[in-house]
Structure 1
């Protein structure tokens, strides 16, 4: 295996490890901090940019390997259709063609799986970000925790319901205070009425 295909294989193994890390069950707070760091880190952004360039080269290698597989298939088909020339492909020549076919197919599968897994990783990463953002919005809407200004919790007015619940609790307390004050005023009014009015309706005289 040549050096660049060895690097492609190493990248494939790295993608498999990252994918397993993404699907592992992690506590919500830890996962939120981790993905917030990944989203905000300039180093990770530069790494992602470099990976995009790398995948462009892997795509070129994939196209080249597909072309090689196609040419080997055409060569084998032509040799089989030539009758007498097919004997020339026997022995060492046939083994050489089969070896080229095997290596071309191996390189094609290696590059193809690497590109395919990169698409899966990108989509999985975006889906996890969406899930974290939605969980953040749900917690904020329930009033379990205040709204936070970060890239995972673009909630906008997500804390309005929690604020309204808090205001409703304050209004309930105000109503209870007003009711208690109303009862006190009513008792005071009755006491003053009893003080200034006698039972037949004539006011009392001050001594």
Structure 2
């Protein structure tokens, strides 16, 4: 009798397991850095997030319509040390945007909702970008090549600066903090480098609803 052929493990599954193990290891390291489990997010390091908390309170009643899924924080996270790269590979943190309100968005070319919302993010930067506000859209494709640039060129992005993180460090950091369950993931960060609120999933960020909420959050900082 012929013995049944043994099933050969699929290479793709092995690669996925390796990738998940790597992400889990990175998540443990990030958890240690950011103080996961502290009663006030990770603000136990003594950083004051009073400005962003005030902004969150002002944004809450305006989180409606196109931004109804936006969740203003009640326990702000210190996001100032989150790391990503410029198009030429230079490391940046949100500390480099100190004094500005930042809409931090994580996206990938393979993520259909990300691709759909990108034009709105570009228009928002065109409408509100300046000394006090900036959209920071960070691509998290692994081994991205020229795919992100080609996509942004194809849709005619005019106002966004290109940022990336092909090592997934930023995504793992936010996921470990409970702020990125998938893509797209967006965090509004105040001029003090602290979280104002988080959005899970896409939004029409240039809509009247979104701009009214953002302006209310910024006005509360004065």
Larger % of strand: which? Answer: 2
Larger Rg: 1
Is the TM value for this pair above 0.5? no
TM-score w.r.t. length of structure 2: 0.18
TM-score w.r.t. length of structure 1: 0.18
Larger % of helix: which? Answer: 1
